[in-house]
Amino acid sequence: MTGDSALKTEDTTDDLAEAKTVGLSDDRISEIIDDLNSEDDTLLENDLQGLSLADTVDLIHKITPEQRSKLFALHGGSIDPYIYVEIDPGLRQDALSAMPAQKIAEIVSSLDSDDALDLLINLDEDFQKDIIRKLSAKMRVAMEEGLSYPEESAGRLMQREYVAVPQFWTVGKTIDYLRAAAPDLPDDFYDIIVINPGYHVIGEIPLSRLIKARRAEKLENLTLDETHIVPADMDQEEVALIFRREGLGSAPVVDADDRLIGVITVDDIIDVINVEAQEDILKLAGVEGGDLYRAVLSTTGSRFRWLFLNLLTAILASMVISLFEGTIQEVVALAILMPIVASMGGNAGTQALTVAVRALATRELSSSNMLRIIWKETLVGTLNGIGFAIIMGLIAGLWYSNPALGFVIAIAMVANLIVAGLCGAGIPILLQKSGADPAVSSTVFLTTVTDVVGFFGFLGLAALFLS
Amino acid sequence: MTGDSALKTEDTTDDLAEAKTVGLSDDRISEIIDDLNSEDDTLLENDLQGLSLADTVDLIHKITPEQRSKLFALHGGSIDPYIYVEIDPGLRQDALSAMPAQKIAEIVSSLDSDDALDLLINLDEDFQKDIIRKLSAKMRVAMEEGLSYPEESAGRLMQREYVAVPQFWTVGKTIDYLRAAAPDLPDDFYDIIVINPGYHVIGEIPLSRLIKARRAEKLENLTLDETHIVPADMDQEEVALIFRREGLGSAPVVDADDRLIGVITVDDIIDVINVEAQEDILKLAGVEGGDLYRAVLSTTGSRFRWLFLNLLTAILASMVISLFEGTIQEVVALAILMPIVASMGGNAGTQALTVAVRALATRELSSSNMLRIIWKETLVGTLNGIGFAIIMGLIAGLWYSNPALGFVIAIAMVANLIVAGLCGAGIPILLQKSGADPAVSSTVFLTTVTDVVGFFGFLGLAALFLS
């Protein structure tokens, strides 16, 4: 057996060279596209039947928007409703907006409450109400309550289908109950939740503990000492941190009165961790999530805003340079060398900034070590500043046979790298303290500082010592 | 109850304002540091006893290196061995290198095989052998086999403690076996693995399915149709993708002969997902993992290498500028405006590059949609290029009352943003195709291109039209 055993491949003969790829191979995608473009509808129906859920998601992501519309229009009926949960939120919105409310209501009704909610949240509010009106009473209440929780909160993430039993039961009684109630229980669960008559959570029992215990054992003897109860309004990033810190399989969610209302499982959390880590990297570059699947115009617009901010920074830097017009005209070498100082500051600052932004997100950076980290980054900036000052001082001095020029660029380099270290760590911390998202705007602030200090320092010193 | 129920707080009275923080509060950390610095050793012992595992890890991360050494030296005995698994790998290495091999062998023996292996991998090879020699025969074999798998492979990640049963058993017989064998089974597991007499994996059964089934039910009727078997040499990033795609709780790991040798569980995967996503964001900025906890000199050194590459890029850009020394001396406005064109190209390119690097990592970008994405990014660059050309053309033209200057900067802007889009998406794809890690070196290549094109385009056009 080779790697493909892990892949849940289709029944077609698979190219062995491709066997190590996770998911749908590019060759298989081309074949399916050919089938989609053919006159014979049964070809694609067969393809879709042979695909696992994750492979179908891959397919939908990787084909063109035109192919996607065709697929949804002609073969929407053969698509597992759960597909709509798994595809990129932008594509999901496109697909659902084109459907009648009745059809979406049917899809929603076939899903667990957390997935159903995912489908509704990005739709237009009126359309949302339209769909909710067509649901069963139970699902309607679930959706309305779910929507009442803040975005990206535990309440939105949880599912309402959980397994809870009273604290005074024995293992045997619990297993008998699980067998009898099987059709009404969630398909998969990792823990059972032990509650008191007031629906307050006493604790959790992992299934592996339950199944290893003797039938006569009381549940209260098995309940984990550390059960991590999540309030419904807790932010999902916070919930993910708890799961990661504690290695949880699931956690009960409670309302404001501490009553059990749902459960969050680790597979929901994997998505959150992935999205949150991904979000930071994208935000630092001024890109929005789902960008890959957006249409050209929508991507252009969302990127324009960020670039416009950067343009303002660049213009500010130009204004700083223009203060020294006379000096540059006298010593044109300054124009040639000045981008080096600014760019080294920007790069050194970005290093400190990236470390700080990630450490803030994972809570590894907080008040207790904040000053120490800022101090360390300033020191690192100083040391690297001295190193690059020597290197660039020598290069510039020799290039233009002008020791004073070497001296000026060296001093400017040290100064800019010290500031870069200080601000690279300091700006994200200040933004976080003031309630802003450090990943979103840190870079623009940092570039402004390193550009202004870089150009002003270098050209200012040059004006003093060289002209 | 407030948010702190989710936190497994200590027994001390907790500041309510801090209750929403995940983990150890900063106030609590200061108290513990005071206890660490006091003469009375029992104070700190009491503190440590009251801390959960995750809180102790927090504490060790957030104190200074001096406080850390003191903690390990004086209170190493009161520290749960599992702590060494959970702390930052750099700190772990520091702590373990200072211990005698015998002590580490004791720690290793008390852990599951996957965690034990984690402890050994970063140690000096001779020291590793020393420790392994002191282990029990069973653990010794496990460690030696584990070390024989490639770094970051499934074989390193898996634990050898799993629950496997023969395919012909019934649910009842399986549960009876689990009860009888309880002391020898792993503490927690999500699935049982069904095998044939040759130790080949037939499939997995989630515990929730097993516990809901009647005792007389045959296991083969419960086995999941899609069981994802992982070969021991599969890269951990690949394993994480499978877990994420398929929402797995655990997956059996097999050797080259397809025989079951271990199991990977979702909590191991959460760490991998986190590390891999984190790694990309750090690599893009030229920072290594664990940077936060490194000493100043070590951080300075690792950052220096990256900055040095960037210095070469900056010097290359200066050489391009120096080609146009004469033109700049004539029209000094060029020196003032030229950084704008280069910096806009760099920022626009970084946007495209970040999207491409992440999409390559998640396999959302592959041969089948590669050309489409490059084409899209080039279009986005063109459109934003036109937008910023108009804006900067007007600003420059009006600022210097020189329409030709406006025209020159506009053309240079469009050209640089087109190149930025093309190369921002193209460079990571080319690096990936050539077997390199696109996150590591993309940025340097991109900056080189956007700097050279930005300066050469702007100054070259100026030389043609303005002088």
Q: What is the CATH number of the domain that holds B238?
A: 3.10.580.10
Cβ separation B306–A244 shorter than 8 A: no
On chain B, the residues whose CB falls within 8 A of the CB of A383 are 296-297, 300
pLDDT tens sequence across A177-205: 999 999 888 888 999 999 999 999 999 99
Same domain, A104 and A207: no
A331, closest residue in chain B (CA to CA): B329
Same domain, B440 and B316: yes
Between strands A250-254 and A260-265, the pairing is antiparallel
pLDDT at A401: 95
B337 contacts A316 by C-beta, under 8 angstroms: no
Helix H or strand E encompassing B305:
helix B296-322
pLDDT at B3: 36
Candidates B335, B388, B451; nearest CB to A321: B335
Same domain, B316 and B230: no
Same domain, B385 and B300: yes
Q: Given A112, A128, A155, which residue is the final one in a domain? A: A155
pLDDT tens sequence across B84-103: 988 888 888 888 888 888 98
Between CA A62 and CA A28 the distance in angstroms is: 12
Same domain, A32 and A143: yes
A171, closest residue in chain B (CA to CA): B211
CATH number at residue B328: 1.10.357.20
Same domain, B327 and B225: no
What mean pLDDT is predicted for residues A434-439? 91
What mean pLDDT is predicted for residues B428-445? 92
pLDDT at A46: 86
Cβ separation B358–A395 shorter than 8 A: no
How near does any CA of chain B get to the CA of A134, in Å?
Answer: 30
Residue with tokens 């002008």: A402
Same domain, A63 and A193: no
Residues 6 or more apart from A306 whose CB is under 8 A from it?
A286, A287, B347, B351
Cβ separation A355–B291 shorter than 8 A: yes
Cβ separation A321–B344 shorter than 8 A: no
How near does any CA of chain B get to the CA of A133, in Å?
Answer: 31
Cβ separation A332–B337 shorter than 8 A: no
pLDDT tens sequence across B151-193: 889 999 998 889 999 999 999 999 999 999 998 888 889 999 9
pLDDT at B95: 86
What mean pLDDT is predicted for residues A317-332? 94
How near does any CA of chain A get to the CA of B322, in Å?
Answer: 6
Candidates A266, A316, A388: best to mutate against B (most CBs of B within 10 A) is A266
Q: How many CA atoms lie within 13 A of B258 on its CB side?
A: 15
A347, closest residue in chain B (CA to CA): B307
- Local confidence band at A21 (pLDDT 50, 70, 90 cut-offs): low
On chain B, the residues whose CB falls within 8 A of the CB of A251 are 6
Determine the Cα angle at B385 with ends B379 and B387, to 5°: 110
How near does any CA of chain A get to the CA of B134, in Å?
Answer: 30
On chain A, the residues whose CB falls within 8 A of the CB of B189 are 208
Burial category of A434 from C-beta neighbours within 10 Å (exposed 0-12, middle 13-18, buried 19 and up) = exposed
Percent of chain B with pLDDT over 90: 55
pLDDT tens sequence across A145-172: 999 999 889 999 998 889 999 999 999 9
Tell me which residue of B309, B346, B281, B282 sits closest to B444, measured CA to CA.
B309
pLDDT above 60: residue B9: no
Same domain, B373 and B444: yes
pLDDT above 60: residue B8: no
On chain B, the residues whose CB falls within 8 A of the CB of A350 are 285
Count of the separate structural domains present in chain B: 2
Q: Please tell me what DSSP assigns to residue B136.
A: -
| Position A287 in a domain | no
pLDDT above 60: residue B17: no
ipTM score assigned to the predicted complex: 0.84
Q: In A147-268, at which residue ranges do the beta strands (DSSP E only) sit?
A: 164-166, 191-195, 201-206, 230-231, 250-254, 260-265
pLDDT at B132: 93
- Local confidence band at B426 (pLDDT 50, 70, 90 cut-offs): very high
Cβ separation B284–A354 shorter than 8 A: yes
| Position A270 in a domain | no
Output b/e per residue, A23-43; b: 16+ Cβ within 10 A: bbbbbbbeebbebbeeeeeeb
CATH number at residue A77: 1.25.60.10
- Strand, helix or coil for residue B255: coil
Cβ separation B211–A210 shorter than 8 A: yes
Cβ separation A282–B228 shorter than 8 A: no
A269, closest residue in chain B (CA to CA): B270
pLDDT at B21: 55
Between CA B312 and CA B292 the distance in angstroms is: 27
Same domain, B178 and B319: no
pLDDT tens sequence across A341-391: 999 999 999 999 999 998 998 888 988 899 999 999 999 999 999 999 999
At A325, list the tokens: 């017009």
Same domain, A55 and A129: yes
Between CA B343 and CA A309 the distance in angstroms is: 12
| Position A339 in a domain | yes
pLDDT at B351: 95
What mean pLDDT is predicted for residues A62-86? 84
On chain A, the residues whose CB falls within 8 A of the CB of B226 are 8, 52
Query: Which residues constitute the domain of residue A169?
Result: 164-265
Percent of chain A with pLDDT over 70: 95
pLDDT above 50: residue A20: no
pLDDT above 50: residue B127: yes
Residues 6 or more apart from A203 whose CB is under 8 A from it?
A193, A194, A223, A224, A225, A227
pLDDT above 70: residue A16: no
Candidates A282, A296, A306; nearest CB to B380: A296
Cβ separation A292–B359 shorter than 8 A: yes
| Position A3 in a domain | no
pTM confidence score: 0.84
pLDDT above 80: residue A10: no
On chain B, the residues whose CB falls within 8 A of the CB of A280 are 281
- Local confidence band at B44 (pLDDT 50, 70, 90 cut-offs): confident
Between CA B382 and CA B384 the distance in angstroms is: 6
Over chain A, what is the mean pLDDT?
89
What mean pLDDT is predicted for residues B384-389? 97
| Position A447 in a domain | yes
How far apart, in Å, are the Cα atoms of A382 and each of A200, A386, A408, A441, B104? 56, 6, 16, 25, 38
B109 contacts B83 by C-beta, under 8 angstroms: no
What mean pLDDT is predicted for residues B434-457? 93
Same domain, B238 and B304: no
Between CA B202 and CA B196 the distance in angstroms is: 7
Cβ separation A296–B211 shorter than 8 A: no
Candidates B211, B338, B447; nearest CB to A175: B211
Inter-axis angle of helices A403-433 and A333-361, nearest 10: 30
pLDDT above 50: residue A1: no
Q: Given A130, A155, A180, which residue is the final one in a domain? A: A155
| Position A277 in a domain | no
| Position A2 in a domain | no
How near does any CA of chain A get to the CA of B100, in Å?
Answer: 29
| Position A30 in a domain | yes
pLDDT at B10: 36
CB pairs under 8 A between A and B: 380
At A300, list the tokens: 């252009």
pLDDT tens sequence across A292-303: 888 899 999 999
pLDDT at A4: 37
Candidates A2, A162, A212, A453: best to mutate against B (most CBs of B within 10 A) is A212
Same domain, B375 and B421: yes
pLDDT above 90: residue A408: yes
Q: Given A135, A155, A175, which residue is the final one in a domain? A: A155
